[in-house]
């Protein structure tokens, strides 16, 4: 890394990888620096792998816009590059008549966000679509689906590498300092420190993005960049019950939108999975025990009466990097060029929780346009 790099991307999760694919060009020196031994080993591999439609997010928010745009882009990418995916569709189910109004609200919200393919289902229509799901009515979203995120990240990085980008693993960025119109990036690579210079820094460090912003001289508290960790646990359902549902099944979301409620997803092999739950934690810790099993079972049983307690087993957990403190309302993604903080060339991507996978190709387009203005 003797020369001055043009662009340094911190983090090789789905967002950093999408950005790398968006900004890499033969005439640019682009580095992706990742602390783990491979790509996508944190939040990007601990999630529901759902291609969201974009109906939950506040109108005109970046979450809504990048999710709706990203949904279309993702299906195109999946088809073009043979990435495993399935356009399953999803139903949000009203357990009883008191929840029907919330379905109508979601329908209007979704339509305002530009989501296509939404329609309300009567009890009879729900029965004929998903005979084994309990509920009195539902909202059907035809553009929701599932995908193989590992294949998506691999494809983004191989596009970036084809344009000359270099992906450097086992290398943790430990310092970001602005000096003489450039940034000095300090890296700890398997115990060895080295420093190089770059014109543009893109902070896509996921759960650690607030710490990277601090390295660059931004006070996360003052800027509203402090991340709060919100853990989501998953339970898998025994293979014997596979095939009983064909679409993703969600409850009506809780009002505070910490998560969207324990829902039922499918993986590409057809296995049913429950989760994620939502619980704020202090430290990153992916362990799960079965202390929440009863609660998972009872919530899921309301949607899937065919479940037996012994059908479900703890599977894995992921952690949301939230800008929303416990008890606060939803916060939007931060995708920001920090020129007005005296840090031209630094682009922060912070609080990229769900629907970050779906939004990733649309976030990459926004960042690509910012970079074009900078370089």
Give contact residues for ligand FAD (rule: CB under 6 A).
10-16, 33-36, 40-44, 47-50, 52, 172-173, 204-208, 212, 232, 276, 318-320, 352-358
Shortest distance, position 28 Cβ to ligand FAD, whole Å: 20
Shortest distance, position 179 Cβ to ligand FAD, whole Å: 19
Nearer to ligand FAD, 254 or 305 (CB): 254
Shortest distance, position 17 Cβ to ligand FAD, whole Å: 7
Would you put residue 54 in left (φ > 0), alpha (ψ -120 to 50) or beta?
left
Shortest distance, position 9 Cβ to ligand FAD, whole Å: 9
Nearer to ligand FAD, 11 or 345 (CB): 11
Q: Which two tokens stand for residue 329?
A: 């309302």
Residue pair 205/41 in contact by the 8 Å Cβ criterion: no
Shortest distance, position 302 Cβ to ligand FAD, whole Å: 21
Nearer to ligand FAD, 137 or 196 (CB): 196
Shortest distance, position 127 Cβ to ligand FAD, whole Å: 26
Nearer to ligand FAD, 137 or 209 (CB): 209
Residue pair 135/84 in contact by the 8 Å Cβ criterion: no
Nearer to ligand FAD, 109 or 273 (CB): 273
Nearer to ligand FAD, 44 or 198 (CB): 44
Shortest distance, position 194 Cβ to ligand FAD, whole Å: 13
Would you put residue 315 in left (φ > 0), alpha (ψ -120 to 50) or beta?
alpha
Measured CA to CA, the distance from residue 328 to residue 257 in angstroms comes to 9
Nearer to ligand FAD, 137 or 232 (CB): 232
Q: If DSSP states are collapsed to H, E and C, what string results for the chain?
A: CCCCEEEEEECCCHHHHHHHHHHCCCCCCEEEECCCCCCCCCHHHCCCCEECCCCCCCCCCHHHHHHHHHHHHHHHHHHHCCCCEECCCEEEEECCHHHHHHHHHHHHHHHHCCCCCEEEECHHHHHHHCCCCCCCEEEEECCCEEECHHHHHHHHHHHHHHCCCEEECCEEEEEEEEECCEEEEEEEECCEEEEEEEEEEEECCHHHHHHHHHHCCCCHHHHCCCCEEEEEEEEEECHHHCCCCCCEEEECCCCCCCCCCCEEEECCCCCEEEECCCEEECCCCCCCCCCCHHHHHHHHHHHCCCCCHHHEEEEEEEEEEECCCCCCCCCCCEEEEHHHHCCCCEEEEECCCCCHHHHHHHHHHHHHHHHHHHC
Shortest distance, position 132 Cβ to ligand FAD, whole Å: 22
Nearer to ligand FAD, 52 or 331 (CB): 52
Shortest distance, position 294 Cβ to ligand FAD, whole Å: 20
Q: Which two tokens stand for residue 331?
A: 């916060």
Measured CA to CA, the distance from residue 5 to residue 29 in angstroms comes to 5
Residue nearest to ligand FAD (CB): 356
Nearer to ligand FAD, 29 or 354 (CB): 354
Nearer to ligand FAD, 137 or 185 (CB): 185
Shortest distance, position 38 Cβ to ligand FAD, whole Å: 9
């Amino acid at each position: 890394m003797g020369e001055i790099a043009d662009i340094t991307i911190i983090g090789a999760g789905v967002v950093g990888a999408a950005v790398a694919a968006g900004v890499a060009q033969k005439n640019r020196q682009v580095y992706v620096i990742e602390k783990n031994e491979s790509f996508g080993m944190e939040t990007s591999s601990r999630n529901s792998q759902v291609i969201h439609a974009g109906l939950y997010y506040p109108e005109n928010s970046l979450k809504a816009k990048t999710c709706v745009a990203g949904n279309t882009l993702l299906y195109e990418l999946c088809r073009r590059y043979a990435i495993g995916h399935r356009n399953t569709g999803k139903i949000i189910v009203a357990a009883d008549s008191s929840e029907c109004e919330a379905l109508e609200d979601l329908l209007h919200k979704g339509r305002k966000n530009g989501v296509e393919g939404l329609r309300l289902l009567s009890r009879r229509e729900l029965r004929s679509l998903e005979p084994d799901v309990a509920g009195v009515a539902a909202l059907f979203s035809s553009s929701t689906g599932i995908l193989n995120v590992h294949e998506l990240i691999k494809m983004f990085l191989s596009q970036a590498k084809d344009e000359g980008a270099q992906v450097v693993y086992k290398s943790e960025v430990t310092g970001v300092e602005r000096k003489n119109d450039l940034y000095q990036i300090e890296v700890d690579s398997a115990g060895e420190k080295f420093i190089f210079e770059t014109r543009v820094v893109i902070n896509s460090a996921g759960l650690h993005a607030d710490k990277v912003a601090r390295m660059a001289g931004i006070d996360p508290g003052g800027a509203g960049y402090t991340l709060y960790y919100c853990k989501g646990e998953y339970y898998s359902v025994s293979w014997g019950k596979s095939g009983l549902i064909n679409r993703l099944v969600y409850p009506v979301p809780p009002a505070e939108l910490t998560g969207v409620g324990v829902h039922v997803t499918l993986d590409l092999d057809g296995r049913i999975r429950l989760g994620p739950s939502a619980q704020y934690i202090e430290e990153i810790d992916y362990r799960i025990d079965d202390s929440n099993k009863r609660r998972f079972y009872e919530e899921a049983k309301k949607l899937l009466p065919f479940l037996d307690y012994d059908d479900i087993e703890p599977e894995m957990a992921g952690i949301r990097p939230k800008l929303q403190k416990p008890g606060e309302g939803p916060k939007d993604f931060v995708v920001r060029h920090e020129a007005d903080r005296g840090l031209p060339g630094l682009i922060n991507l912070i609080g990229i929780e769900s629907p970050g996978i779906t939004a990733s190709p649309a976030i990459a387009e926004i960042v690509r346009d910012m970079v074009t203005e900078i370089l």
